[in-house]
Amino acid sequence: MKITGYADRFSVAPGETIRFMVSSDAPRYRADVVRLVHGDTNPEGPGFQEREVKTTVSGEYPGRVQKIHPGSAAIVPNVPALKSFTIAAMIWPTLPERGRQVLFARDFVLEIGADGCLALSFGDGMQGKRLPLGQPLLARHWYSVGAGYNGNTGEAWVWQRQLLPYPRADRSDERRSKLHPHPTKSATPLFMAANASATHHFNGKIDSPRLFDRALAPDDADRAVRDATEALRMPGLVAAWDFARGMSGTKIEDLSRNALHGELVNLPARAMKGWNWDGTAMDWKSCPEQYGAIHFHEDDLYDAGWQEDFRLEVPQDLKSGIYAARLRSGDDEDHIPFFVRPPKGKRTADIAFLAPTASYMAYANDANSFSSPGAQMVVGRLVVLQPNDLHLMVHPEYCASLYDNHVDGSGICYSSRLRPILNLRPKYASWLGAKGSGLWQFNADLHLSDWLERKGFEFDVITDEDLHAEGLDLLKGYRVVLTGSHPEYYSTRMLDAMTRYTQEGGRLMYLGANGFYWRIGFHESLPGVIEVRRAEDGIRTWAAEPGEYFQSFTGEYGGLWRRQGRPPNLLVGTGFTAQGFDLSSYYRRQPGSFDPRAKFIFAGVGDDELIGDFGLVGGGAAGLELDRADPLLGTPPHALVLASSEKHTDIYMVVCEEILVNTPDLTGSQSPLVRADLVFFETPKGGGVFSVSSIAWMGSLSHNNYDNNVSRITENVLRRFVDPKPL
C-alpha cells in the first residue's frame, strides 16, 4: 500500500470538522469524499458502489511519507541536576534477550544490554564508562535492580536481586567500578522504559521506582523500593513514584514533596499486578499497593501522531450516512471511512443504524491471518492474504488488534482508532469472512446500507462512541435501531442505554450475532481508545493474567457480559453459541413462526421454505458466528423461536463458555447447540426485538436482485417496527 491514512474521529455531525492524516509514497495524490453504499467486490452480488460527493476536500495534495513510532514510556520533566544519585526499582522483564532495552535514562542509562545483562552507562557508554553485570536476567521473574554513583569518589555500582531465587538459577549480581563521568549541571527529563530518542524500549513491568541525590548502599535502596513509607523517611529522596495512583489516567505520581510527576506515552498497560501481589486481591481498587506495576511494550501505540493533510467541515445539508475520504495516486487507492450523524439532539429519520465502531476498533489491524499458526485450521481452508494484510506484515508499527499479542507475548488490551486501520476498508476481504465474499465487520455492514437504500428506507447513522457519550438520549425518538452484523463490544453505558431503549418502547433489530459479548471501557480523557480484559470464559486468542481482570480505565471487572450477570439473551433473546468460518447454512421454520403474533414477519414466505439457503457469505444466511435462544440465560418466556439453522459443518464448534467437560460431540454435525435461532418478542410500551442470530444474514439480502425470503422477512419486520402502532 503506497498511500493510506486515518481521521481524527469516526463520527462527525453537520457543521463539525474532521481532520485527515495521510502518508503517500507518491509526490502528489487526489482526495475526494464519497458516500459508501456497497463495499463487496464479489461478482455474484451488486458489486462495489460509491458515490462522489462535492465538498471542499476534492483536489490534489502534496504527498509525503509519515512514519509511526510505537513504544510506550514515561517522561518526568525537569528532574534536578544530581552530583551523586541512586536509581532503583522492581522490574519484570519479558524479553531480556531482545536486545538493548532502556529502563531509566538521563545523563546516565540503566539498561538491559544486548547480552540480556543489566548495565549502567554514562554518555555514550564507551571509553570505560559502562558498568555491566555478568548474569543475564530471566524472563518473567521479578528483580530488585538499581544503580548508584558517588560524585565525590567517582565510584559507580549496579546490582540486581532476584526476588525468587533458585538453587541453580539465582541471577542476583552486583558490581562496582570507578567511571568518573561528567554529569549534567542543569535540570533535565528522566525517561523510563525508553531513552530520550524514544528508542530501545523496555518490554516488561516496572514497579516502585525511586531516585535519591546520594549514593545508597544496595541494601538501603532495595529497602526503599520495597517500602514506600520507608523511602519517604530516608534522607536524600528526590522522587518515589507510585504507579498505582491515578490508575485511570496518563500521569505517574511522585509521593515525595518534590512532586516530580510524569506523563505516560503511548498507553502502557496499567492495573497490572506488582512484585508484591500475593493473590489475596483480584481487584486493584481494593488493594492498590499490590498493583504498582506498569507493563511497557515496544509496540504500544495510542496516537500515530501524523500531521494533518486536509480537513472537511461537514456541510449542513450532507445526509447522514457512511462516507470515506478516497485517496488516489495512479493505480494506488485507499479509503478512510467516517460516519456522518445527524446534529446532536436531532434525528432526520425514524430508523437509526448503530455502527458498531467499538467492535471495528477491537479488530483493528487484526494480524492473526499471518501471525497465528492455527489460522487455517480455524477457517478450514487456505488463508488468502490481501494487500492490506501484507502491508501490516511488513509494517508492524501500525500495531495490531485486541485479538493479537504484543511482541513479548502479553495480550493487547488497548486499541486506538488514531492510526490507519487497514481492515476497516471497503473492498477488503477478511480471512475470517467464510467462502465467497469473505467479509467481516465494517465491509459486511455495508451489505445493510446497500439494502436500506435499495428498499427506499431513510436512515440515520450513529456510532458506538456516540452511544457511550450520550446514552439513551441518542436513541430517543428513533422508532427502530438496527445493529451491525457483529456488535460484539459494549461498555456499561452502551448496554444500559440499549436496555432502557427497549424497555421504553423502542424497537431493536439485531441483525448479526455474537453481540453484546465483551465488556469494554472507554478512556474518560483520551478520545478514541478502548480497553478489554479477557477474563474467565469466552472465545479468546489470549487470556488475561490472574489478578489482571479489572479494567484500568473504569475499574470495572472485565470479560464477558455473561459473567457479569447480563448475558445478551436478556436484551435480544439470543446469545453466542457456536462459530465456524467455512460455509454458511440455512434456517428451517419452527412452530413459533406459525404463531399469530409472527404472522407479519412471514408474509409472503411459504410454510416449507428454507430460509436463506443462499448468500454471498459462505453460501447461506446462517454462518460465521451463531446465537441461540436459552431461557436459562435470560431469553424471555414469551419469545418466539421462529426458525433455526441446521446442518452446519464440523468446522463449527460450540463456544468454550458452554463447555464444562470436553467431549467429542461439540461440532456442527453433532451438537444441537450449533445453531442460529431467529427470535421475536415484544417489549414493554409497545416495543419489540427481532434477532437473526447470524453474522452472515446480511450477505443474503441482495440475492436474486433483493427478491428473496431473507430480504422479505427483514423488510416485513422493519416496516412493522417503523409503524408507530404498538406491537
- The grid cell for 626 is 451463531
Say how far apart CA 139 and CA 129 lie, in whole Å.
27
Contact partners, residue 558, CB within 8 Å, separation at least 6: 518, 519, 521, 531, 532, 533, 534, 535, 544, 549, 550, 551
- Mean pLDDT across 620-633: 98
332-349 residue pLDDT tens = 999 999 999 999 889 999
Quick check: 128 pLDDT over 60?
Answer: no
396-423 residue pLDDT tens = 999 999 999 999 999 999 999 999 999 9
What pLDDT is stored for residue 553 in this prediction?
98
Q: How confident is the model at residue 181 (pLDDT cuts 50, 70, 90)?
A: confident
Helical (H) or strand (E) element with 228: helix 228-233
Stretch(es) of the chain classified as CATH 2.60.40: 3-66+308-339
Quick check: 126 pLDDT over 50?
Answer: no
Dihedral (C-alpha) 697, 699, 701, 706: value to the nearest 10 degrees? -160
Stretch(es) of the chain classified as CATH 2.60.120.200: 73-296
Q: How far is CA 75 from the centre of its chain?
A: 25
Q: How confident is the model at residue 222 (pLDDT cuts 50, 70, 90)?
A: very high
Q: How confident is the model at residue 127 (pLDDT cuts 50, 70, 90)?
A: very low
Quick check: 160 pLDDT over 60?
Answer: yes
* % residues pLDDT > 70 (the chain): 99
Residue with cell 427497549: 502
What pLDDT is stored for residue 20 in this prediction?
98
Report the greatest alpha carbon distance in the chain: 94
Region at 24 (left for phi over 0; alpha for psi -120 to 50; beta for the rest): beta
What pLDDT is stored for residue 320 in this prediction?
98
- The grid cell for 165 is 531465587
Name the residue type at position 121: S
Say how far apart CA 717 and CA 145 lie, in whole Å.
65
**CA separation (Å) from 131 to 399, 569, 579, 609?**
35, 61, 55, 79
State the average pLDDT for the chain. Answer: 96
CATH 1.10.10 corresponds to the domain 3-66+308-339? no
Q: What are phi and psi of 339, to 5 degrees?
A: -125, 125
Helix, strand or coil for residue 417? coil
The pTM score is 0.96
- Mean pLDDT across 474-501: 98
Say how far apart CA 447 and CA 686 lie, in whole Å.
29
- For the domain spanning 73-296, the CATH number is 2.60.120.200
- Mean pLDDT across 114-139: 85
- Mean pLDDT across 655-669: 93
Q: How confident is the model at residue 125 (pLDDT cuts 50, 70, 90)?
A: very low
Quick check: 301 pLDDT over 60?
Answer: yes
Strands (E), 307-395: 308-313, 321-329, 332-340, 351-355
45-75 residue pLDDT tens = 999 999 999 999 999 999 999 999 999 999 9
Name the residue type at position 104: F
- Mean pLDDT across 612-619: 97
Say how far apart CA 69 and CA 398 lie, in whole Å.
9
Percent of the chain that is helix, strand, coil (3-state, to 5): 15, 35, 50
CB 284 within 8 A of CB 291: yes
Higher pLDDT, 182 or 567: 567
- Mean pLDDT across 502-523: 98
Kindly give the pairing relationship between strand 293-296 and strand 204-212: antiparallel
CB 563 within 8 A of CB 535: yes
Please give the span between the terminal C-alpha atoms of the chain, in angstroms, as a whole number.
51
CB 579 within 8 A of CB 694: no
